[in-house]
Each structure stands twice: as structure tokens, then as C-alpha cells.
Amino acid sequence: MPPSPRTIAAAALLVAALAACAAPSDHARPAAPRTEAAAPPDRAAAPPGLPGMPPVLDPADVYAADRPGKLAAAVKDFPSRVYVPNTNSNTVSVIDPATYKVIETIPVGNQPQHVVPSWDLKTLWVNNDLGDSLTAIDPATGKTGRTLDVSDPYNLYFTPNGKYAVVMASMDRELVFRDPHTMKTAKALPVDCAGVNHADFSADGRYFIVSCEFSGDLLKVDTEKMKIVGQQKLPRQGAMPQDVKLSPDGKTFYIADMMSHGMWVLDGKTFAVPKLLPTGRGAHGLYVSRDSREMYITNRGEGSVSVFDFAKNALTKKWHLPGGGSPDMGGVSADGKVLWLSGRYDAEVYAIDTASGKELARIPVGSGPHGLAVYPQPGRYSLGHTGVFR
């Protein structure tokens, strides 16, 4: 059977991105970011947070609701599991973290990329990218439910007030705002970049930053207006931005870049040109510790995890997986003691001790494991991806 047009397009974009990476451009002058005109005076009088968003518990720490074991009433009785989407096997492997064993393999749609907790925490959505669908998993029972037709759901987020789901339609070149329950389209927002894939929201929820991996762009999007208000190309030829994460104090966005081998440090408010902090080859995923003191950066190209200290504003440790590996996407256990990561190119999952960096287990799963979700996790609501909770 010949490959689909979307598959051909994806391959072409990836080849172009990798070819661009080889160009000598480390010292290229960065292009100035494009932003909208200054906000009108009435914007200054707007309420501090996105309307309908739960108030921030601690203005100094957006992750204050994510402390060890602080499970919401909606999830406190859910069994602890690790859900692993296998992109090449079209399955989800379910791991019991107590035994480090796969206890079930669930067939899903074509090319599942991420397992995403819903805003209300009650559903896990499997993003079947080439299958153009979302499959629901009930985390109380582990059973699949409805499958909804959704075009190109590479990744999935939720606005902080729970009003919309936001589909990262990478090949369709759109951010699609949808009803968070029915997934019916509210607004499809075309983007002038290639490969929208990851995002995170500002502390007040009024805007979010999006990475475009194939063109090396960043977008700034007004959440309420569903409008792009800023765009810039990263100042490095061949840049390939991936995961995006907000600092606990809400002042800085970090963007992992697998071809620049580090993470970009961005002031979201000014949206000025960011600076690159090298971490390791193939920097990919970003995960904040339960005490909000550190962030774990997966370096997929070298089989390591870098540890960034927020207070010191510096990398303080690097953990190498014994025998190597390809650590990609994942999450932190509810008690904060274990970092779970998919091994994208090795059909395995890694469990890492967050106190020592020691590998606790290496678990065989299906082919091409990607955006695994550790569930349940602490937090009042989910912003999506593999579990960004606040």
C-alpha cells in the first residue's frame, strides 16, 4: 500500500530540517521577533488571569499544586500506571510502576504520539496522529472508550480555564481550538510555520508559547482571542525546538532543541530573542521536580538527563543511562521519586531515581515509544501534553 500524502509530507519536512541543520549558521544574525502592536490602554485594566482559570495557589510557584502525593479528589482512587504510546506498533503499553512490568497492551489508532490527561483529569486521550483520531482511556479502569475523528492530532493541550482543547495539527499547519469534551472545532488557526508540536501557558494563562520543530520558529498565542500575537525564528540554522516549559516563578520559558543540543531561555512577556543553554545531544523533554527546585532535561541523542537548578540558574548534574539509550518524553511519579521516560529508538521505558540518577528499571515495550503519561499525578487541572499540571 503506498504511503499517505501526510506521511510523504512529514518525511519531506524532516529531510529539509535535517539538511538545514548542517548549514554553517551558528553566528547568523537573529531575525527580530514579530509581535503585535502595543496593547491598548484597556488591556492594562484587564483582570490578572485568564477568565475562568482557577486562581494560582502561589504567585511565586505555578507548580505549587503539584507537591508529592497531592492528588485531586477526581483521581485519588485511580490505580497508578504508566501509559506508553508506541508509534510504530499502534498500541499503548500499560506499566505497573510497582512491579516495573507491562500488564496490558491496548490496540489504538495509527501512529499514537502522546497520551494526554484531560483538563478535568478524568480522561486520558491517545493522540492517533496518522489515524486522525483521539482514543479515550478511562484511567479508573484502564479500558478504552470512544474514539473521536480529529484531523492530525500530533499533540493536545487545554486552555487553563478548561474552555478549549488545543490540537497541535503539525502537518495541517494549524492550532485547532476544540470543545474539550466533544472535540468539535471552535476555531482553526492557521500558522505560518512548520511542525507545531509543543507548548506551555503563561502564569496568568493569557498567552502560550508554541514550538515549530520543522521551521525552527516560536509562536506567541493570545489564549482568549485565539490569535497569534508574536512569531520569531530561533537564531540558529537548523534549530528544531521541542518541549516547552514555564519556570516556577512564571518569568521564563524553556524550549528544548534537539538539533541545537540544548534549551532556549525565553522571556515570554517581551518575547525577545532567546539565549541557548547547551545541555546535551538531542535535548528533547523538560520535566519539573515535585519541589519545583529542579528541571530534568532529556538528551535523546546521547542517552542522558541533565538537571537544571532554577535557583542557581545553572545545570548542576548529568545522569547517563548505563549502556546508553534514547530518553524522550515522560513524567515524574506522584511521589516525585521516579522519572519515567520513553526510549524512542530502543523500544523500552526507563525508570530513573530522581535522588541519585540511578536507573531503576529498563522495561521492554512496543516499537517507537513516545509521549508516555504517568498517571495519576498531583495537580488541580491538566494543561495537556504528557501531563502538565497546575
When the pLDDT of each residue in the chain is averaged and rounded to a whole number, the result is: 91
- Structure confidence by residue, pLDDT tens digits, 38-58: 444 333 444 579 999 999 999
pLDDT digits (tens, 9 = 90+) for 18-41: 333 333 333 333 444 554 444 443
Burial track 343-361 (b if 16+ CB lie within 10 A, e otherwise): bbebbbbbbbebeebebbb
Cα 356 to chain center, whole Å?
25
Instruction: Please report the pLDDT score of residue 14 as a whole number.
Output: 42
Q: How do 227-233 and 262-267 pair as beta strands?
A: unpaired
Q: Which residues is 198 bridged to in the sheet?
A: 211
Indicate if the pLDDT at residue 355 is higher than 80: yes
Distance CA 319, CA 120 (A): 34
Residue the block writes with cell 478504552: 144
Write phi, then psi, for 3 (nearest 5 degrees). -65, 150
pLDDT of residue 28: 38
User: Cα(120)–Cα(75) distance, rounded to whole angstroms?
Assistant: 10
Return d(Cα 381, Cα 376) in angstroms, integer.
11
Q: Residue 6 — very low, low, confident or very high, per pLDDT cuts 50/70/90? A: low
Q: What is the DSSP string of 152-202?
A: --SEEEE-TTSS-EEEEETTTTEEEEE-TTT--EEEEEE-SSS-EEEEEE-
pLDDT at 322: 97
Distance CA 43, CA 66 (A): 31
Alpha helix locations (H) across the chain? 5-21, 41-44
Is the CB of residue 367 less than 8 Å from the CB of residue 347?
yes
Q: Return d(Cα 112, Cα 134) in angstroms, integer.
A: 9
| pLDDT in the model for residue 48 | 76
| Rg of the chain on CA atoms, in Å | 19
pTM: 0.89
Mean pLDDT of the 63-81 span: 97
Task: Render pLDDT for 150-193 as a digit per residue (tens, 0 to 9).
Answer: 999 999 999 999 999 999 999 999 999 999 999 999 999 999 99
